[in-house]
Amino acid sequence: MVFSQSAQAVPSFARQTGQSCVACHAGGQFPELTPYGRLFKLTGYTNGVRGNPLAAMIVGDMTKTANNDDGAGGTLSPKDEKFIADFASVFVAGKVTENVGGFAQFTYNVHDRQDAQGNWLGFAHSDNFDLRYADRRVDANTDFIWGVTLHNNPTVQDVWNSSPAWGYPYLATTLGAFSGAPVSTFLESQQQLAGVGAYVYLNNSFYAELTSYQTAKNFWQFLSLGSRTGDPDHPLTYLSGSNPYMRLAYTHEWDAHNVMLGAFAMNAKVLPLDSNNFPIFGPSTQYRDVGVDAQYQYLLYPHTFTAQMRYIHERINDDTQNLYAGPATLNSFKLKGSYVYRAQYGASLAYTNVNGSADALAYPSGTPNFGSESNVPNTQMWTPEIFWMPIQNVRIGLQYNYFTRFNGASTNYDGNGRNAKDNNTTFLYLWAAF
């Protein structure tokens, strides 16, 4: 689940507001937010009356890999072509006071890792967390929303689905042969950190936010439950000092249309870990991410159309020289469009293109299946998907991941005869919230 996204559609919000899922989620396609859903989040999840704050969700799925042979008589994905109970989450979400509300998700991954005997081990952890204080002032000329947020995953506080935390794919295979690829920028990789930020939203048009992140330890340890210092499988991510994040966006709504144009940036200094996964205080790996994004929605029943674009340029300076041999760059581009009819039948198409500078330490050659003969992360893929929502809190989907390039080449990318298309996967899932 390190490489997948989580849902923000929780029935506790529907109970609190008295609205159906379609009010907050575009065409009912959680977690895509409508203008009403974005205002609900920006005003601190406080609209409506307090009620039962508990909710849950469960996901079952099956992955079929085009070529699951590891080249040595074994398999890359031991659960290939098997329908599994993948993970389940419990939510505590909703209104606390007239100005305070929040969203907390705790997840149990059934197939987290295997022990030396090949037995699967589960993993329970705090997933996404967002606690807010917000206020709103409205008069004849001004609509002003301001707030502060405490959260544990960069961009989980964002209200647009072009941002990394809530961006497509909303569900993805966790056990496919290509797990871990394409390579992600720092902002696109799920991190359990401690973030405190402030934001303003003026006249439903201009949004600005400034957040600072640090290691989720000591007082902030509840934001990183499941990750521990020295843990061999889930070590705590250590940052050096405070790490700033900035977000700007312009939005406009007319008739059934709404659009957003935005920009964001983050500077993160990540400390290395020793052989026992304890932090080494000193030189760090510095990630500087700068990105632009956009979103368009058309919402007029029975039709819903949404489109998102995101581009991130990352500059990396590894003073530790543990991860990168020299200064490096990574570029990530994602484009996605979806259509939903009558809040029941939907289809989407996404395009992903990742490329970066050559680095023999970061992208070594000679590694079967996952290596790069040209020492680059360059990967290109298309993801078509169809889905059906028989009721508003259940989605059944079929997703296909089609690679035209993988780690720098379309054929023999690892130097051991594996082709990009060998990593193509079919992903069938059942997603339900209660």
Residue range 19-47: average pLDDT? Answer: 89
Using one digit for the tens of pLDDT, what is the confidence trace for 117-131? 889 999 999 999 999
Q: Average model confidence (pLDDT) for the chain?
A: 92
Asked if 410 contacts 372 with a C-beta cutoff of 8 angstroms, the reply is no
Dist. CA 81–CA 173, nearest whole Å: 12
Fold of 11-433: Porin (2.40.160)
Domain spans, the chain: 11-433
The pLDDT confidence band at residue 78, using thresholds 50, 70 and 90, is confident
Asked if 30 contacts 8 with a C-beta cutoff of 8 angstroms, the reply is yes
The per-residue DSSP string of 365-414 comes to SS-TTT--TTS---EEEEEEEEEE-SSTTEEEEEEEEEEEEBTTBSSSTT
Using one digit for the tens of pLDDT, what is the confidence trace for 326-380? 999 999 999 999 999 999 999 999 999 999 999 999 999 877 778 889 999 999 9
Neighbours of 223 (CB within 10 A): 22
Q: How far is CA 349 from the centre of its chain?
A: 17
Using one digit for the tens of pLDDT, what is the confidence trace for 191-219? 899 999 999 999 999 999 999 999 999 99
Instruction: Give the per-residue pLDDT at 179.
Output: 63
Instruction: Give the per-residue pLDDT at 9.
Output: 55
Length of the chain: 434
Please list the residues that pair with 431 across neighbouring strands. Answer: 59, 395
Dist. CA 70–CA 368, nearest whole Å: 8
Residue range 85-112: average pLDDT? Answer: 94
The per-residue DSSP string of 166-190 comes to TPSPSS--SSSTTTT-S---GGGS-
Residue matched to tokens 């640090």: 214
What pTM was estimated for this model as a whole?
0.93
